[in-house]
């Protein structure tokens, strides 16, 4: 048995356990700005979703969503969560700060260059982005190497990082293949620049073997499922038991879900890239992995000690439930010999939209309702806990706005999905406007939360522990405490 | 069920000017899982309380008619109900236990920090949590506490907190 008597207070500065709160906050707020920009963009240009996705505008908005919003938030959250969840410390906070700058310059430049379709510059900004990703992956791998005991969460995070790295490599290769290399004839392959240009030309030549849309879909799958879904699956095995007061019910089932997802992903990548009819087999393996995940999640929830689920968890679980229609769509779209028609093309759009917005973004918004208040609360009130009465996490934002945001998001999602399927441009605008309203409610709550950073609300402690703020979430204990108050 | 009690009398050693510490620690090291140590000394051996608390022992001392003291060191139960009631007799008990299990984060941290706020010097706070309390360590360090956590066989954690 590994007991590992970790003694942070004695052996090293304990503050290094998790990075300073401003680091993940910076990533999360930047991500939210990108999400607002992307949804606003779709309201202004609904035709992006209502037409087939192989064009520069769809690619630009998609990268704004996946790199600007999802990647940024996931990276910030991982710098915070991975050390805490896996009981270790972040390898380097300074490296993470550098990565943030490379990341923002990289993704903003990429989105802009996709929009004006300048693939050479996409490659340049993509390289800046990739350099940031290399720092991110290196930093987390070093962190993972110091994990005292390996869990399924660590495995999921590690494989997600692997798929993410591969996604970036494939993406850069696709960009390389879309450039021309006239200067190669004038440059000697022995010079530094010449060697680089000749190397890029060989990559472009190699990529020419593959179908362009196949390569793009394979790249999108690696990123969407390999990085984002894998990360959500892995992290939720830690967070859902923690927030619902439960425990992982079957380690084997959890391991099985991660293994099946990985196996399916490897096979899907190759079969999508090569446009092989075996695609369906691997889609089914992945669906089996997701089913095992859903099953385990259900078992965790059934064993929970906290009966009521808060809305942050409801956002997350609804997103997970949306994996069901997403999986059905995946099976339909991988059917051997499926012909590309206007309708099936739109189903592909729907598949991407449902995956990125319905599943991943909705899940992240739910998780942010747990992470963001905690980050601000810990940063603003950390020193005062136990000395003064500090607000409870749930008091930092409005539940009414949160509930409104939930229903607006669902309404927006359904409307946009139907509109996308039938190429109905005005309806896409309505759906995206509903999504924008939902994000508006989120903004109100983010502002309320951040206000605690600007104006902390601390009142002197009236009686000794426990206080109401400590136990506000626990109805049973609350009555015990109120009994205590009336007794005192 | 009564535990087995091992008796150790160090009155003679002290009278002869011998340092009894290593003898006591040796006796403690040889104690079985269900054994307690009953120590007889010519005074209340207060410095020993903290040392043994770190090794997971609770103590209960009482003066004898002869002017000597008897102290019973027994192992902290591995699981159990919150021993906050032990706070009631703080003149005798130097370990305060806080059970922060079964709470949603960050409530365990709040509960433990509140308990630590008026922890007297020389008293140990023993906190039980479901997870390793990663966010607690920097807060404790800032407030001048040292802490070490140990995983229990049931997967929960016991963190021992003392003022530096």
Say what the pLDDT of residue B80 is: 43
pLDDT at res. A26:
95
Selecting from B112, B134, B150 the residue whose C-beta is nearest the C-beta of A87 gives B134
Contact A14 B115 (CB under 8 A): no
Taking the C-alpha atoms of residue B84 and residue B98, their distance in angstroms, rounded to an integer, is 6
Which one of A12, A146, A466, A478 makes the best mutation probe of the B interface by having the most chain B beta carbons within 10 Å?
Answer: A466
Q: Which residues of A touch B105 (CB under 8 A)?
A: 242-243, 374
CA of B156: which chain A residue's CA is closest? A3
The arithmetic mean of pLDDT across residues A160-174, rounded, is 97
Q: Label residues A165-185 b or e (16+ Cβ within 10 Å = b).
A: bbbbebbbbbbbbebebeebe
Question: Nearest CB to B149: which of A6, A245, A471?
Answer: A6
Amino acid A226: pLDDT: 96
Please give the span between the terminal C-alpha atoms of chain B, in angstroms, as a whole number. Answer: 37
Give the separation between CA A165 and CA A65, rounded to whole angstroms. Answer: 18
Q: Does B116 touch chain A (CB under 8 A)?
A: yes
| Per-residue pLDDT at B78 | 54
DSSP helix/strand/coil, A93: helix
Residues 339-378 of A with CB under 8 A from B: 374, 377-378
Cβ burial of B30 (10 Å; 0-12, 13-18, 19+) is exposed
Widest CA span in chain B: 56
Q: What is the CA radius of gyration of chain A?
A: 24
| Partner-chain contact A385 B104, CB within 8 Å | no
Q: Is the predicted pLDDT of residue B111 greater than 70, yes or no? A: yes
Report whether A353 contacts A417 (CB < 8 A). yes
Do A245 and B103 make contact, defined as CB atoms within 8 angstroms?
yes
Is pLDDT of A204 > 90? yes
Q: What is the pLDDT of residues A221-269, one digit of tens each?
A: 999 999 999 999 999 999 999 999 999 999 999 999 999 999 999 999 9
Q: Cβ A386–B115 below 8 Å, yes or no?
A: yes
pLDDT of residue B67: 82
- pLDDT for A180 beyond 80: yes
* Average pLDDT estimate for A436-464: 88
Query: What is the per-residue pLDDT for A460?
Result: 81
- Phi and psi of B134, rounded to 5°? -60, -35
Using a CB–CB cutoff of 8 Å, tell me whether B118 touches chain A. yes
In angstroms, the CA B131 to CA A398 distance is: 29
Average model confidence (pLDDT) across chain A:
89
CB atoms B118 and A382 under 8 Å:
no
Cα–Cα distance between B96 and A213 in angstroms, integer?
A: 65
Q: Which pLDDT value is given to residue A202?
A: 92
- Distance (Å, whole) CA B102 – CA B154: 14
Give the per-residue pLDDT at A224.
96
- Residue pair B123/B148 in contact (Cβ under 8 Å)? The answer is no
Query: How many angstroms separate the CA atoms of B37 and B72, rounded?
Result: 6
Q: Dihedrals φ, ψ of B16, to 5°?
A: -85, 5
Length reported for chain A: 488
Q: Helix A152-177 crosses helix A251-273 at what angle (to 10 degrees)?
A: 10
pLDDT of residue B11: 87
How far is CA B33 from each of CA B1, B2, B48, B70, B75, rounded to the nearest angstrom? 14, 13, 20, 21, 8
> Are residues B107 and A474, on separate chains, in Cβ contact within 8 Å?
yes
The angle, 0 to 180 degrees and rounded to 10, between the axes of the packed helices A22-44 and A425-454 is 160
pLDDT in tens, A337-355: 898 899 999 999 999 999 9
Which run of H or E residues covers position A110?
Answer: helix A93-115
Share of chain A above pLDDT 90, in %: 76
Banded pLDDT at A34 (limits 50, 70, 90)? very high
| Residue A464, pLDDT score | 45
Out of A13, A386, A474, the one facing B103 most closely (by C-beta) is: A474
Digit-coded pLDDT (tens) for B41-72: 888 887 788 778 777 788 888 888 888 888 88
User: CA of B137: which chain A residue's CA is closest?
Assistant: A14
Q: Does B78 touch chain A (CB under 8 A)?
A: no
Nearest to A386 among B117, B138, B147 (CB): B117
Which H/E stretch holds residue B162?
A: strand B157-163
Q: Does B38 touch chain A (CB under 8 A)?
A: no
Residues paired with residue B5 on neighbouring β-strands, in sequence order: B36
Q: Is the bond leading into B134 cis (omega within 30 degrees of zero)?
A: no
Give the gap in angstroms from C-alpha B159 to the nearest C-alpha of chain A.
Answer: 10
pLDDT computed for residue B84 by the predictor: 44
Token digits of residue A272: 């999508």
Question: Span A119-131, mean pLDDT?
Answer: 96
Q: Give the span between the Cα atoms of B38 and B52, in whole angstroms.
A: 13
User: Residues of B with CB below 8 A from A5's CB?
Assistant: 148-150
Beta strands in B76-119 (DSSP E): 95-99
Tally the residues of chain B: 164
Query: pLDDT exceeding 90 applies to what percent of chain B?
Result: 20
Chain B hits for A378, Cβ within 8 Å: 106, 135
Q: Do B115 and A471 touch (CB under 8 A)?
A: no
B22–chain A nearest CA distance, Å: 24
Read off the pLDDT band of A462 (50, 70, 90). low
State the Cα–Cα distance between residues A179 and A176, nearest whole angstrom. Answer: 6
Q: Work out the angle at residue B76's Cα, subtended by the Cα atoms of residues B71 and B82, and round it to the nearest 5 degrees.
A: 120
CA A227, CA B111: separation in Å to the nearest integer? 36
Within 8 A by CB and 6+ apart from A451, the residues are: none
Q: Residue B136's closest CA among A472, A388, A18, A477?
A: A18
Average pLDDT, stretch A272-284? 95
Decide if B57 contacts B76 (C-beta within 8 A).
yes
A90 touches chain B (CB under 8 A): no
Beta-sheet strand order (sheet of B57-63)? B4-9, B35-41, B69-75, B57-63
pLDDT mean over B109-115:
91
Residue A385 DSSP code: B
Q: To the nearest whole angstrom, how far is the Cα of A390 from the nearest Cα of chain B? A: 10
Among residues A379, A445, A372, the alpha carbon closest in space to that of A28 is found at A372
Work out the average pLDDT over A292-312. 94
Q: How large is the C-alpha radius of gyration of chain B?
A: 17
Give yes or no for B114 touching A (CB within 8 A): yes
Of B87, B81, B130, give the one whose Cα is nearest residue A465.
Answer: B87
Single out the residue of A359, A347, A348 nearest to residue A315, CA to CA: A359
C-alpha distances in Å from residue B35, one per residue of A86, A97, A356, B3, B7: 36, 54, 60, 6, 10
Q: Which of residues 266-325 of A touch B (CB under 8 A)?
A: 305-306
Look at residues A108, A113, A130 and name the one whose alpha carbon lies nearest to residue A56. A113
Per CB-CB distance under 8 Å, the chain A contacts of B113 are 385-387
Q: Which residue has the higher pLDDT, B33 or B127?
A: B127
Whether A115 and A41 have beta carbons less than 8 Å apart is answered as no
What is the distance between the alpha carbons of residues A21 and B155, in angstroms, rounded to a whole number? 28
Residue to test with chain A: of B120, B127, B132, B157, most A Cβ within 10 A = B132
Q: Do B137 and A9 touch (CB under 8 A)?
A: yes
How close A461 comes to chain B (CA, Å)?
10
CB contact at 8 A, B127 and B118? no
| H or E element at residue A72 | helix A72-85
Q: Which residues pair with B126 in a beta bridge?
A: B97, B160
Of these ranges, A126-130, B32-36, B98-102, B144-148, the one predicted with the greatest mean pLDDT is A126-130
Question: Does the global pTM surpass 0.80?
Answer: no
pLDDT for the residue A402: 98
CB A385 within 8 A of CB B110: yes
The reply to whether omega before A466 is within 30° of 0 (cis) is yes
Q: Which region among A155-159, A425-429, A455-459 has the lowest average model confidence (pLDDT)? A: A455-459
B113 to chain A, closest Cα gap in Å:
5
Quote the CA–CA distance of B118 and B110 in Å, as a whole number.
Answer: 14
Q: What pLDDT does A416 receive?
A: 97
Give the side-chain half-sphere CA count within 13 A for A199. 8
Which pLDDT score, from 0 to 100, does residue B3 have?
60
CB contact under 8 A, B138 and A17: yes
Nearest Cβ partner of A467 from B104, B114, B153?
A: B114
Chain A CB within 8 Å of residue B131 CB: yes
Q: Which residues of A touch B156 (CB under 8 A)?
A: none
**Would you place residue B155 in the very low, low, confident or very high pLDDT band (cuts 50, 70, 90)?**
confident
A282 in Cβ contact with A225 (< 8 Å) = no
From the CB of residue A34, how many other CB atoms can be counted at a distance below 10 Å?
A: 25
Taking alpha carbons only, the member of A31, A23, A92, A9 closest to residue A375 is A23
Element holding A34 (H helix, E strand): helix A22-44
- pLDDT recorded at residue A219: 97
Instruction: Give yes or no for a contact between A59 and A49, defined as CB atoms under 8 angstroms apart.
Output: no
């Amino acid at each position: 048995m590994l007991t590992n008597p970790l003694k942070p207070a004695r052996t090293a500065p304990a503050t290094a356990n998790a990075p300073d709160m401003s680091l993940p906050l910076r990533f999360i707020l930047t991500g939210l700005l990108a999400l607002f920009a992307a949804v606003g963009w779709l309201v202004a240009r609904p035709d992006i979703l209502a037409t087939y996705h192989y064009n520069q505008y769809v690619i630009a908005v998609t990268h704004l969503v996946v790199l600007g919003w999802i990647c940024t938030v996931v990276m910030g959250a991982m710098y915070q969560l991975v050390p805490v969840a896996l009981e270790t410390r972040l390898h380097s906070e300074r490296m993470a700060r550098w990565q943030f700058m490379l990341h923002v310059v990289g993704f903003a430049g990429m989105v802009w260059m996709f929009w004006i379709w300048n693939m050479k510059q996409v490659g340049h900004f993509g390289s800046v982005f990739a350099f940031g990703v290399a720092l991110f992956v290196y930093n987390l791998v070093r962190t993972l190497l110091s994990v005292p005991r390996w869990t399924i969460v660590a495995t999921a995070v590690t494989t997600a990082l692997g798929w993410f790295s591969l996604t970036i490599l494939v993406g850069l290769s696709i960009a390389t293949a879309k450039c021309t290399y006239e200067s190669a004839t004038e440059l000697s392959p022995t010079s530094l620049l010449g060697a680089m240009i000749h190397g890029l030309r060989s990559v472009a030549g190699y990529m020419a073997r593959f179908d362009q849309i196949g390569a793009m879909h394979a790249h999108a799958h690696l990123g969407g499922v390999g990085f984002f879904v894998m990360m959500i699956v892995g992290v939720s095995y830690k967070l859902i038991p923690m927030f619902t007061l439960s425990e992982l019910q079957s380690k084997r089932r959890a391991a099985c879900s991660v293994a099946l997802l990985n196996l399916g992903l490897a096979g899907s990548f190759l079969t999508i890239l090569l446009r092989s009819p075996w695609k369906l087999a691997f889609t089914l393996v992945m669906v089996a992995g997701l089913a095992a995940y859903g099953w385990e999640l259900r078992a965790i929830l059934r064993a929970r000690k906290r009966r009521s689920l808060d809305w942050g968890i409801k956002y997350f679980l609804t997103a997970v439930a949306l994996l069901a229609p997403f999986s059905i769509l995946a099976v339909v779209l991988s059917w051997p010999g499926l012909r590309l028609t206007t309708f099936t093309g739109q189903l592909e759009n729907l598949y991407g939209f449902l995956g990125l917005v319905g599943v991943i973004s909705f899940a992240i918004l739910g998780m942010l309702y747990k992470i963001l208040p905690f980050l601000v609360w810990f940063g603003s009130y950390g020193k005062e806990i136990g000395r003064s009465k500090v607000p409870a996490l749930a008091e930092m934002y409005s539940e009414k706005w949160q509930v409104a945001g939930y229903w607006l998001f669902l309404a927006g999602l359904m409307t946009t999905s139907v509109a996308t399927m039938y190429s109905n441009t005005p309806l896409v605008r309505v759906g995206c406007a509903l999504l924008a309203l939902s994000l508006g409610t989120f903004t109100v709550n983010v502002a309320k939360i951040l206000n605690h950073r600007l104006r902390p609300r601390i009142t002197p402690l009236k009686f000794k522990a426990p206080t109401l703020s400590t136990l506000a979430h626990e109805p049973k204990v609350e009555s015990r405490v109120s009994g205590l108050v009336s007794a005192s | 069920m009564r535990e087995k009690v091992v008796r150790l009398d160090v009155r003679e050693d002290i009278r002869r000017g011998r340092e009894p510490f290593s003898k006591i620690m040796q006796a403690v090291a040889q104690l079985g899982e269900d054994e307690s140590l009953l120590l007889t000394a010519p005074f209340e051996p207060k410095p020993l309380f903290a040392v043994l608390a770190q090794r997971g022992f609770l103590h209960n001392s009482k003066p004898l008619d002869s002017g000597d003291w008897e102290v019973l060191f027994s192992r902290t139960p591995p699981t159990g109900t919150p021993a906050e009631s032990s706070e009631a007799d703080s003149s005798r008990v130097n370990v305060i236990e806080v059970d922060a299990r079964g709470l949603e984060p960050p409530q365990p941290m709040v509960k433990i920090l509140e308990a630590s706020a008026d922890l007297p010097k020389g008293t140990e706070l023993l906190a039980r949590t479901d997870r390793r309390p990663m966010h607690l360590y920097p807060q404790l360090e800032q407030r001048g506490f040292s802490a070490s956590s140990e995983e229990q066989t049931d997967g929960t954690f016991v963190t021992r907190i003392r003022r530096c």
